[in-house]
């Protein structure tokens, strides 16, 4: 089957735009995301009838500026995604390397835990843990990070199994290198490309999980803006045709997730020798 080349230009520009917006949110946002103004509640966007240039994307039921909340929501989503990915990638890589290089009963025990983790419904388990431990940004990061590590562990374990049979590992053993040194100095550098691909392909899953938890009311707590909670608040007003309350954060999720997926596919194609030759 013919593969069409992926152009990363537009996805990279969109991702960088979201990152810049998240970093410089206090300078870019026209208003405070938590400042209420009841006389200005439920104002439509500036391009719609009855809109105002003071609130380019309208306001919510408390008169808070939608554009400012979307901008600060980018900071929340990207922060949670980056830290949760750090937790899952670190834990999954560590256990995958241990399982792949050690083999035997250590490998069997770790892989059975991975099998159990992969069989769990992520959103349901995350919802249960969020309800038990409470809604907070730190809890969301830990919950998502601890749910996604099995995906990293399985893939990294396969790479470690292949690498430990290579000649350079055998030479390191003959030279008297310890197992820890072999793993850190010789095996880990060779699995970094795989790790990068896993991170780029899974970060969109983290963004969607955070949005889903916030939508269900057990994610990032109010009044801190989150795209998921903004969609939840906006759905109550869809029947009143206050469409911008849910559409604007929904579009932000759509563009960011699609861009992450396209970029992840491009990274995979560039780092996979077989796909690069095609």
26/68 Cα distance (integer angstroms):
9
Is residue 246 domain-resident? yes
From the number of C-beta atoms within 10 Å of its C-beta (0-12, 13-18, 19+), residue 41 rates as middle
**CA dihedral defined by 265, 266, 270, 274, rounded to 10 degrees?**
40
What's the confidence (pLDDT) of residue 239? 62
Task: Tell me the per-residue pLDDT of 209-251, one tens digit each, with 9 for 90 and over.
Answer: 889 888 888 888 877 888 988 898 888 777 678 888 889 999 9
How many domains is the chain built from?
1
Please determine, for residue 276, whether its predicted confidence score (pLDDT) is greater than 60.
Answer: no
Is residue 44 domain-resident? no
What's the confidence (pLDDT) of residue 20? 94
What's 233's domain CATH number? 1.10.3720.10
What's the whole-model pTM score?
0.86
Residue-number span of the structural domain to which 194 is assigned: 9-27+65-277
262/270 Cα distance (integer angstroms):
12
Please determine, for residue 1, whether its predicted confidence score (pLDDT) is greater than 50.
Answer: no
Is residue 138 domain-resident? yes
CB half-sphere exposure, 91, CA atoms < 13 A: 19
What's the confidence (pLDDT) of residue 233? 85
């Amino acid at each position: 089957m013919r593969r069409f080349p992926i152009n990363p230009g537009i996805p990279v520009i969109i991702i960088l735009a979201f990152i810049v917006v998240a970093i410089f949110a206090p300078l870019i946002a026209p208003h405070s995301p938590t400042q209420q103004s009841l006389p200005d509640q439920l104002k439509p966007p500036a391009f719609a009838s009855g809109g105002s240039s003071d609130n380019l994307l309208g306001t919510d039921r408390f008169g808070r500026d939608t554009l400012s909340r979307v901008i600060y929501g980018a900071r929340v989503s990207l922060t949670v995604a980056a830290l949760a990915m750090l937790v899952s990638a670190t834990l999954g890589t560590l256990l995958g390397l241990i399982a792949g290089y050690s083999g035997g009963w250590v490998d069997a025990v770790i892989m059975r835990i991975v099998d159990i983790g992969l069989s769990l419904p992520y959103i349901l388990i995350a919802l249960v843990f969020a309800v038990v431990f409470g809604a907070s940004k730190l809890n969301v990061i830990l919950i998502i990070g601890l749910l996604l590590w099995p995906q990293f562990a399985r893939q990294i374990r396969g790479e470690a199994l292949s690498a430990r049979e290579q000649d350079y590992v055998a030479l390191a053993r003959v030279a008297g290198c310890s197992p820890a040194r072999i793993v850190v100095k010789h095996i880990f550098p060779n699995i970094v490309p795989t790790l990068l691909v896993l991170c780029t392909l899974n970060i969109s899953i983290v963004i969607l999980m955070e949005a889903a938890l916030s939508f269900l009311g057990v994610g990032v707590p109010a009044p801190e803006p989150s795209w998921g909670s903004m969609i939840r608040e906006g759905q109550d007003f869809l029947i009143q045709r206050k469409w911008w309350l849910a559409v604007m954060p929904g579009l932000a999720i759509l563009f960011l997730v699609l861009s992450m997926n396209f970029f992840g596919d491009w990274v995979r194609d560039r780092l996979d020798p077989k796909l690069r030759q095609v």
